[in-house]
């Protein structure tokens, strides 16, 4: 890494970089397939059209190779999120405006990674729906997602997506198991619609990540954007109930994104998403939340960030976004001591959580991205495999970076 | 030596928590490694550091010096400067320790975090010639000082053949610099026969001594850490390196130690004889703890013990090297066993 540019690297070693043949804008879908022939295929969802997804063979991390790539059928849509389980790939489709198609998710057979074959499409389009923004699929049976629906009438256009659970155990015939939304989010609810955040900070009340883990199969951990963090009881999947909600907006600008439980330690790691450039929505943080009393989550710390006054001027967004979610799947690295997150122009950052009251910075990687439209990297998502290799992607042009932890 | 275990709260510890915190790949964990280069004026410290900065392995080094003149910065290397910091080529920065070293290092750390200086990967401190390295070593021990962000990697003492023997004979600081060192570098051996100097060094320390010609030496010799301090191989059951009352010896234990007993013994030792406990370093097998625990103490101050993920070799025994002034191995062993005998088992 030349030292004359703005790059910063600490306690990571850069193993390789692949700019993905000029389509290096990746969203927040990264999933590793352990293919039957022994290869490790990393599936990446693109941030925006024209590309749908790209599959990269990372068996040799020094030499990642593109093995498959698909185009989106329409330019008014994006894929953004995907997951694999075994030889099944699920891809989320979201349209730019409500009422457009295709909006939903598509399942592919990826038993031959070079040739993904469509199995089925689950339609979530509707007059007021933009489809699926994000999906969680780790057990091969159920997709938990943030999605609109044909029959859902949001009380505000920005609140069109809700929590939906879909049974995909028969991949050719996905069927809905249940749904939940914030009371007031739908026209006709008994409760009043949620109070809007002011002006440009009104991002909407809808789920972002919808995480479910085998340690607590009866819980969904959700970032609910302007609604804060929400945990659901899904013991009765057809009738989810809210267990807890932690809403810290205002004073903070909304957009709670991801909630990762560290079950053994009674902690929740909660990330915001920064959505505005140049520090306009600062602070966007990674929070450490005491979850000993499940019904009353209490924030106890945030992960230390580099100074906003310097990073907010580097260009683009600066603040929290995706976390490494300890995906409960084969081939994934797991830790309840280290938190990894991507912070747009703040790069990829790792924190030591030995003392959860005082998280400590352990490592960072802030690459220089030639041709970055905002002038700086915008690292968007992170995936860590059970070899300890850390994969991170840029939102616009940078592509895929493969790193080793060195701490 | 009070309770120096990692501040792991019992809250949120989880079932797999170690009393020493997350086991680390290496003693420094995620902290910034620091090498201290000490030696008398004219010994050749600057030449060595200059050569390091010019090498590929020395890229992205922050150097802390007392005088810019010493490091030989010329205009060609000067890219930008603030009051106390100069950016060099090769990703390096050079920083003046004008007043307080702690403040200097804290400023460097903060500047690095905000991108005001390159993201340096290590710090090399060039001490002034007469510096007693003891206090400097202690600076990195306590969490309140710099121990949370910086990790002492190596103390390297430079000594020149023409003047080294005389300095050792006349200056107690020179002897301490040698006695405490992890490694010795002999310079200017082309100008004087170092035979007498080497004999003097061997009386003071078992640290390895390498020769450097015009600053050329393996960068790892300056930058890497070894878990064990150098010590003489025991001969005839008399392992002391007698000279000027400075002794060095190794204490080994075949069975894992109970940490409370070991910690109490070290507390007693530092309370009674801290000033004479020049340096203690080694790895300890602790009952109930999977990895070896790195222990490092300097006089009255102990570095935070670090559990490593794996043992560095097949020898799973505890081993501690003591460098002392007038305290022998028998006294240490007697103290450890006496304290172990009276420390209560923890109540369940």
Q: What is the DSSP string of A321-381?
A: --B----SSTTB---SSEEEEE-BTT-EEEEE-SSTTS-EEEEEEE---TT-TTSS--EEE
Cβ separation of B7 and A355 shorter than 8 Å?
Answer: yes
- CA dist., res. B233 & res. B116, Å (int): 48
Q: pLDDT higher for A185 or B315?
A: A185
> Which region holds residue B72: left if phi is over 0, alpha if psi is between -120 and 50, else beta?
left
The residue of chain B nearest to residue A407, with distances taken between CA atoms, is: B30
Looking at residue A264, what DSSP letter applies?
G
- Count the neighbouring beta carbons within 10 Å of the beta carbon of residue A227: 26
Task: Assign B214 a pLDDT band (cuts: 50, 70, 90).
Answer: confident
Q: Evaluate whether A389 touches A404 at the Cβ level (below 8 Å).
A: yes
Residue A156 pLDDT > 80, yes or no? yes
Residues of A with CB below 8 A from B114's CB? 306-307, 309-311
Residue A51 pLDDT > 80, yes or no? yes
**DSSP per residue, B321-348:** EEEEES--HHHHHHHHHHHHHHSPPPP-
Specify the pTM: 0.91
Q: A80-94, A242-256, B39-53, B179-193: lowest mean pLDDT where? A: B39-53
Output the pLDDT for position B344. Answer: 67
**Nearest Cβ partner of B119 from A8, A311, A355?**
A8
Q: Evaluate whether B139 touches B102 at the Cβ level (below 8 Å).
A: yes
- Residue A375, chain B, CB below 8 Å: the answer is no
Residue B65 pLDDT > 60, yes or no? yes
Residue B81 pLDDT > 60, yes or no? no
The residue of chain A nearest to residue B20, with distances taken between CA atoms, is: A354
Q: Evaluate whether A95 touches A66 at the Cβ level (below 8 Å).
A: no
Task: Assign B83 a pLDDT band (cuts: 50, 70, 90).
Answer: low
**DSSP per residue, B196-250:** HHHHHHHHH----EEEEBTTB--HHHHH---SS---PPPBTTB----STTEEEEE
Residue B7 pLDDT > 80, yes or no? no
Q: pLDDT higher for B65 or A186?
A: A186
Minimum distance, in Å, between the CA of residue B171 and any CA atom of chain A: 40
Output the pLDDT for position A197. Answer: 96
For B38, B191, B217, the CA distances from B194, given in Å and listed in that order, are 19, 9, 18
Minimum distance, in Å, between the CA of residue A359 and any CA atom of chain B: 12
Minimum distance, in Å, between the CA of residue A397 and any CA atom of chain B: 23
Q: A278-292, B57-71, B133-147, B239-253: lowest mean pLDDT where? A: B239-253
Instruction: Write down the H helix ranges in A190-247.
Output: none
Q: For residue A396, what are the contacts with CB-CB under 8 A and spacing of at least 6?
A: A24, A25, A47, A369, A372, A373, A374, A378
- Residue B143, chain A, CB below 8 Å: the answer is no
Mean pLDDT score, A396-404: 98
């Amino acid at each position: 890494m030349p030292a004359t540019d703005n790059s910063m690297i600490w306690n990571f070693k850069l193993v390789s970089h692949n700019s993905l043949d000029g389509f290096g804008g990746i969203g927040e879908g990264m999933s590793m397939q352990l293919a039957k022939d022994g290869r490790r295929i990393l599936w990446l969802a693109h941030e925006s059209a024209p590309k749908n997804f790209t599959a990269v063979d990372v068996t040799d991390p020094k030499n990642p190779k593109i093995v498959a790539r698909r185009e989106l059928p329409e330019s008014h849509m994006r894929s953004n999120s995907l997951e694999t389980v075994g030889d099944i790939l699920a891809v989320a489709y979201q349209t730019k405006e409500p009422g457009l198609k295709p909006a939903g998710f598509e399942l592919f057979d990826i038993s031959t990674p070079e040739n993904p074959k469509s199995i089925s499409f689950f339609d979530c389009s509707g007059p007021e729906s933009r489809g699926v923004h994000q999906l969680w699929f780790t057990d091969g049976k159920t997709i938990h997602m943030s999605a609109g629906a044909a029959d859902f009438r949001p009380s505000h256009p920005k609140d069109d997506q809700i929590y939906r659970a879909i049974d995909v155990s028969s991949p050719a015939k996905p069927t809905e198991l249940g749904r939940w939304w914030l009371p007031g989010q739908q026209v006709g609810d008994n409760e009043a619609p949620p109070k809007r955040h002011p002006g440009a900070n009104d991002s909407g009340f809808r789920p972002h990540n919808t995480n479910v883990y085998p340690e607590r199969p009866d819980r969904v951990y959700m970032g609910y954007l302007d609604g804060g963090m929400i945990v659901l009881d899904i013991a009765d999947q057809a009738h989810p109930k809210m267990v807890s909600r932690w809403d810290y907006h205002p004073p903070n600008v909304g957009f709670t994104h991801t909630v990762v439980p560290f079950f053994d330690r009674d902690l929740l790691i909660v990330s915001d998403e920064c959505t505005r450039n140049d520090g306009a929505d600062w602070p966007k943080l990674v929070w450490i939340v005491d979850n000993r009393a499940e019904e009353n989550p209490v924030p106890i710390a945030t992960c230390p960030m580099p100074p906003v006054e310097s990073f907010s001027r580097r260009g683009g967004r600066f603040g929290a976004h995706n976390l490494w979610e300890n995906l409960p799947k084969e081939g994934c690295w797991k830790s309840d001591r280290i938190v990894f997150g991507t912070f747009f122009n703040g790069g990829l950052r790792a924190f030591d959580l030995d003392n959860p009251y005082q998280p400590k910075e352990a490592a960072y990687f802030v690459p220089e991205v030639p041709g970055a439209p905002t002038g700086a990297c915008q690292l968007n998502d992170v995936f860590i495999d059970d070899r300890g290799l850390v994969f991170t992607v840029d939102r616009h042009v940078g592509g895929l970076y493969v790193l080793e932890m060195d701490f | 030596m009070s309770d120096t275990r990692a501040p792991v709260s019992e809250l949120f510890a989880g079932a797999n928590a170690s009393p020493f915190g997350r086991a680390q790949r290496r003693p420094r964990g995620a902290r910034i490694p620091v090498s201290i280069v000490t030696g008398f004026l004219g010994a050749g410290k600057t030449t060595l550091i200059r050569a390091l900065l010019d090498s590929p392995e020395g890229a992205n080094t922050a150097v802390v010096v007392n005088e810019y003149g010493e490091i030989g910065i010329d205009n060609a290397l000067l890219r930008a400067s603030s009051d106390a910091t100069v950016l060099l080529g090769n990703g390096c920065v050079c920083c003046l320790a004008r007043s307080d070293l702690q403040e200097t290092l804290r400023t460097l750390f903060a500047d690095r975090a905000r991108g005001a200086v390159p993201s340096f990967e290590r710090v090399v401190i060039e001490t002034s010639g007469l510096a007693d390295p003891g206090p400097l070593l202690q600076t990195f021990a306590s969490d309140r000082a710099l121990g949370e962000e910086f990790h002492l990697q190596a103390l390297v003492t430079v000594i020149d053949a023409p003047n080294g023997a005389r300095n050792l004979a006349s200056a107690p600081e020179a002897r301490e610099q040698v006695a405490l060192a992890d490694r010795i570098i002999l310079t200017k051996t082309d100008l004087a026969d170092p035979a007498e100097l080497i004999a003097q060094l061997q009386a003071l320390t078992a640290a390895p001594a390498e020769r450097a010609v015009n600053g050329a030496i393996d960068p790892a010799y300056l930058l890497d850490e070894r878990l064990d301090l150098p010590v003489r191989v025991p001969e005839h059951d008399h392992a002391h390196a007698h000279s000027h009352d400075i002794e060095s010896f190794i204490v080994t234990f075949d069975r894992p130690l109970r940490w409370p007993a070991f910690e109490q013994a070290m507390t007693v030792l530092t309370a009674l004889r801290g000033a004479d406990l020049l340096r203690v370093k080694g790895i300890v097998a602790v009952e109930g703890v999977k990895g070896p625990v790195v222990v490092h103490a300097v006089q009255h101050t102990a570095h935070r013990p670090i559990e490593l993920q794996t043992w560095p070799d097949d020898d799973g025994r505890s081993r501690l090297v003591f460098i002392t002034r007038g305290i022998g191995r028998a006294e240490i062993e007697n103290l450890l066993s006496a304290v172990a005998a009276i420390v209560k088992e923890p109540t369940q």
